[in-house]
Amino acid sequence: MMTLYVHRQSWLHRQPAGLKLLVLMATSVALYALTSLWTAGAALIAVILAYRSLGPAGWSYLWVVKPLLPMFILIFVVQTWSQSVSAAILMLLRMLTLIWLANLVTLTTRMDAMMDAVMPILSPFRRVGVAPHRIAFTVALFVRFVPVLMAVLNSLLEAWKSRGGGRAVWRLAIPMLINAIRMSDHVAQALAARGGVRSPETPVSMVQPQ
């Protein structure tokens, strides 16, 4: 799961993790204030072009949304029926921009950098006995886990199609759940083997493996 980070020397990799998370948050707010298809389309094109900084294979990372295509079609149909075609296109532009931007942050930001960026925001929780570094780790782990689960779903869909499974893709729910549980168990075992989530104030020598 940790291999989602792409090792490059791009301008995006050199940006602070806090700045990238802040841009992601600001973009998510700004997009839903936009009503112009041209502006939303320009934002989407800007995010797509940013993938080029990951090298010649940068475009391939855009396929992270492939498992979501059926959902996009459904949203488009419902929005067109309930509102209009332009409203449906605008919603899809917003969703694609946010998904691809979040994935770009994941690809260009190390997990420890994400934790360091989130830690100052969570420091007030220390007063009520909650360890901020644990929450920060959970947030960073969640950000990393989502694209991995999407990749697993994509592989299940490909296997389903290759076996002539038809349109009853809902049957993949149980295999998907089993894979998610198995992955979470592997992550938990790996963390336990490395002494768990260590507090920044705790020296490495004081951490005892479970």
Instruction: Compute the half-sphere exposure of residue 210: CA atoms within 13 Å on the CB side of its CA.
Output: 11
In a domain, 206, yes or no: no
Residues 3-9: what's their mean pLDDT?
Answer: 70
Residue 41: inside a domain: yes
pLDDT for 131 equals: 66
Is residue 184 domain-resident? yes
pLDDT digits (tens, 9 = 90+) for 25-41: 888 888 888 888 999 99
Selected residue with higher pLDDT from 31 and 165: 31
Domain membership flag for residue 4: no
Reported pTM: 0.64
Q: For residue 9, is it within any domain?
A: no
Cα–chain center distance at 1: 12
- pLDDT band of residue 42 (cuts 50, 70, 90) is very high
Largest interatomic CA distance in the chain: 62
Give me the pLDDT at residue 117, please: 74
The answer as to whether 10 is a domain residue is no
Does 149 lie in the same domain as 90?
A: no
The tally of domains found in the chain comes to 2
Of the pLDDT bands very low, low, confident and very high (cuts 50, 70, 90), residue 98 is confident
Whether 78 and 144 share a structural domain: no
Residue 12 within any structural domain of the chain: no
Pair (99, 40) in one structural domain: yes
Rg of the chain (C-alpha set): 20
Q: Which residue segment(s) compose the domain that 129 sits in?
A: 122-198
Q: Is 88 domain-assigned?
A: yes
pLDDT digits (tens, 9 = 90+) for 177-207: 787 777 767 666 765 665 555 555 544 333 4
**Same domain? 105 vs 126:** no
Residue 47 — pLDDT band, cuts 50, 70, 90?
very high
CA distance 113 to 66: 28
Distance of CA 17 to the CA centre of its chain: 14
